[in-house]
Chain A
């Protein structure tokens, strides 16, 4: 069971104070921490678990500059065997279809039974790349997967629907799955663990080698003409309670008594 997993490095934005650049086209990333996209982390874990149970090889792929090697090292430390990085900065301005085209060129010659991606990115949230790849490759797929069972040349998957309901599907291999959070408990990667895989060579390629033209990637290949960012309007928003922590607690307790009928 050979598995390819596409991963992405993203800024950690929970609890971070985000600032928009002067042009309004992006956020300032200098002070942010970067990590593997949460959904991709679950995808890598699922791939490694399947490999551990059924044998085979896990290959992780990412797009981006040298800094993005960190996500590949993380994935290798989790148990992936090989890593490929497409060294191309222009993907920064690609839309999701452009990113999928780039990944497609890099993985179409890698023999695999399963292709896994995260269901979405925590940054742009397009939730497109895995399924666009499936269509480019002409293989069956399922999105929002919360359980995978491997059988002979076929798989059974549980797909998450709304209202705590799931859908049970079956499909032949090779297939593409986009992984939803909660499918497993991803293992923790220590600095020691990353040290251990530092000698594994990361295969590098670029858009020229992959035969990607200017028209396919970056701003030229994107369906988006321009993007203007802003902070969401607060609207009426919450009345922020102020004072000492004790005063705030007293006010809150009063609200709970009044609105909740608590004595």
Chain B
């Protein structure tokens, strides 16, 4: 029976959410197409992790080696090549994450596999793969029909499927020996660099006033700060504002910044790329101000104002200053 292989993602001893999300996607496709699902765990001293995977797949494949203690493209590529040549899975799923984005393209090139990255939905009919992904910063959906192939490599967008530990499975654990590390290219992992302590913890705020590219220039930030002060909110931002160093990185909401869940999240001039949405979509109430009515942020906001934030902000501040 053909197999769907899922690369289990973990870091610093913790299984990443994307792993169980991918297994959920794999199990759904597996049920519809009579395919088994296997989770592949590459690492060192991973026994506590394999236990967490058993309930979510038909087989847990484990490759243990000190060389695999931390993710490194050099070793992972060789390990994936070894496992792929042995198992020949129909589908291989990898997360569209810092690990998967680093691994999948080179793996596809090395093994001559068709690769579709950042997939939000998958379908499989008579062995033909269909994929939904977003392009142009989330403003357009693209439904792709892939050419027939014996094998596909897919990277899956985080948050596209529900992560559950128990998925009605009880996978056996099977060990795969590590290869001789002969084809390495000299990339060395030296360590993790954690963020410096921030002046303000945006994750602790009840109300966040969050600014994006639409703020235009740093001279406009006091307008947002005054509004935040008037309602007792904390100022946060999306990636472009931190990239420009208009606000410190510790204020950034999103995948590479912080995940927040305030009572009210006010998004000012934030288009709402999925990396940003992943960091704030669980806020109780989301208010978005953007002059672009097609901005993806409006799809997840509860209330929207389609206008220039520079016009809206002073009026809003005034509503609270009067009190």
Contact B299 A232 (CB under 8 A): yes
Given the complex, which residues of B lie within 8 Å of A241, measured CB to CB? 303-305
Taking a contact as CB atoms under 8 Å apart, the answer to whether B105 and A132 are in contact is yes
Q: Is B106 an interface residue when CB atoms closer than 8 A count as contact?
A: yes
Nearest A residue to B304, CB-CB: A238
Kindly name the residue among B264, B291, B292 whose own CB sees the greatest number of chain A CB atoms within 10 A: B264
> Which one of A158, A235, A248 lies within 8 Å of B312 (CB-CB)?
A248
B146/A232 in contact, CB under 8 A: no
Judge whether A259 and B315 touch: CB under 8 Å. no
Q: Restricting to B116-164, which residues have a CB under 8 Å from any CB of A?
A: 116-118, 133-147, 149
* B36 part of interface (Cβ distance < 8 Å): no
Q: Is the CB of A140 within 8 A of B186?
A: yes
Distance in angstroms between the alpha carbons of A37 and B101 in the assembled complex:
18
Encoded as 1 (CB less than 8 Å from any A CB) or 0, chain B from 174 to 218 comes to 000000000001111111111100000000001100000100000
Instruction: Choose among A96, A122, A239, A256 the residue with the greatest number of B CB atoms under 10 Å from its CB.
Output: A256
- Residues of A near B245 (CB, < 8 A) are 182, 185
Closest Cβ neighbor of A219 among chain B residues: B147
- Among the 9-residue stretches B21-29, B40-48, B58-66, B254-262, the one with 4 or more Cβ atoms under 8 Å from chain A is B254-262
Q: Please tell me which one of the listed residues A159, A252, A260 contacts residue B316 in the complex, with CB atoms under 8 A apart.
A: A252
Q: Which of B235-255 contact A (CB under 8 A)?
A: 239-240, 242-245, 249-250, 252, 255
Which residues of B53-108 have CB atoms within 8 Å of chain A's CB atoms? 71, 73-74, 96-98, 101-102, 104-106, 108
The yes or no answer to A150 lying at the interface (CB within 8 A) is no
CB-CB nearest in chain A for B316: A249
Q: Is A111 an interface residue (CB 8 A)?
A: no
Identify the closest chain A residue to B195 (Cβ). Answer: A164
Report whether A223 and B264 are in contact in the complex, using a CB–CB cutoff of 8 Å: no
A228 and B292 contact, Cβ closer than 8 Å, known pairs A124-B135, A140-B74, A260-B206: no
Cβ of B231 under 8 Å from chain A: yes
| Residue pair A144, B312 in contact (C-beta under 8 Å) | no
- A interface residue count range (under 10 / 10 to 19 / 20 to 34 / 35 or more): 35 or more
A162 touches B97 (CB 8 A): yes
Tell me whether B52 is interfacial, beta carbon within 8 Å. no
**Consensus secondary structure, chain A interface:** mixed
Distance of A249 Cα from B141 Cα, bound (Å): 33
Stretch from A66-74, A167-175, A201-209 forming part of the interface with B: A167-175
CB distance from A155 to the nearest CB of B (A): 10
Q: Given the interface contacts A14-B271, A165-B195, does A238 sit within 8 Å of B298 by beta carbon? A: yes
**Chain B residue with minimal CB distance to A158?**
B193
When the two chains form their complex, are residues A240 and B114 in contact, meaning their CB atoms are under 8 A apart? Answer: no
Asked if B311 is at the interface (CB within 8 A of a chain A CB), the reply is yes
**Stretch of A15-23, A85-93, A190-198 contacting B (4+ beta carbons < 8 Å):** A15-23
What is the count of residue pairs linking A and B with beta-carbon distances less than 8 angstroms?
A: 277
Q: Is the CB of B266 within 8 A of A256?
A: yes
A123 contacts B by Cβ under 8 Å: yes
Q: Is A255 an interface residue (CB 8 A)?
A: yes
Decide if B194 touches A165 in the complex (CB within 8 Å).
yes
Q: Among A125, A129, A159, A261, find the residue whose CB has the most chain B CB atoms closer than 10 A.
A: A125
Query: Which B residue's beta carbon lies closest to that of A128?
Result: B105
Q: Which of A64-123 contact B (CB under 8 A)?
A: 95-97, 100, 119, 122-123
Number of interface residues of B (CB under 8 A): 99
Interface centre among A138, A141, A167, A241 (most CB of B within 10 A): A167
Q: Which residues of B contact A223 (CB under 8 A)?
A: 114-116, 146-147, 149
- Give the chain B neighbours of A169 by CB distance below 8 A: 187-190
Q: Are B145 and A225 in contact (CB under 8 A)?
A: yes
B185 touches A167 (CB 8 A): no
Structural contact, B137 and A234, CB atoms closer than 8 A: no
Nearest B-chain residue to A228, judged by Cβ: B143
Min CB gap A143→B, angstroms = 4
A196, B114: Cα distance in complex, Å:
43
Residues A202-240 near B (CB distance < 8 A): 222-232, 234-235, 237-240
Q: List the B side residues contacting A260 at CB < 8 Å.
A: 206-207, 231, 233, 263-264, 285
Question: A225-B145, A259-B284 are known contacts. Are A248 and B305 too (CB-CB below 8 A)?
Answer: yes
The reply to whether the CB of A181 lies closer than 8 angstroms to some CB of chain B is yes
Judge whether B239 and A181 touch: CB under 8 Å.
yes
- What is the CA–CA distance of A255 and B245 in the complex, to the nearest angstrom? 31
B109 at the interface (CB under 8 A from A): yes
Bound complex: CA A229 to CA B133 (Å): 10
Task: Tell me the complex Cα distance, A158–B98, Å.
Answer: 12
What are 14 residue pairs bridging A and B, where the CB atoms are less than 8 Å apart in the complex? A95-B114, A122-B136, A135-B110, A142-B73, A165-B194, A166-B192, A181-B243, A223-B116, A224-B146, A227-B145, A229-B135, A232-B141, A237-B298, A237-B301
- Residues of B at the A interface (CB closer than 8 Å) are 11, 71, 73-74, 96-98, 101-102, 104-106, 108-110, 114-118, 133-147, 149, 185-195, 206-207, 213, 231-233, 239-240, 242-245, 249-250, 252, 255-259, 263-264, 266, 271, 284-288, 291-294, 296, 298-307, 311-312, 315-316, 318-320, 323
| Other A-B pairs, 5, CB within 8 Å; known A13-B137, A230-B143, A253-B320 | A17-B294, A163-B257, A164-B252, A168-B192, A252-B316
8 closest Cβ contacts across the A-B interface?
A: A223-B114, A182-B243, A238-B304, A131-B105, A253-B319, A135-B109, A140-B185, A238-B301
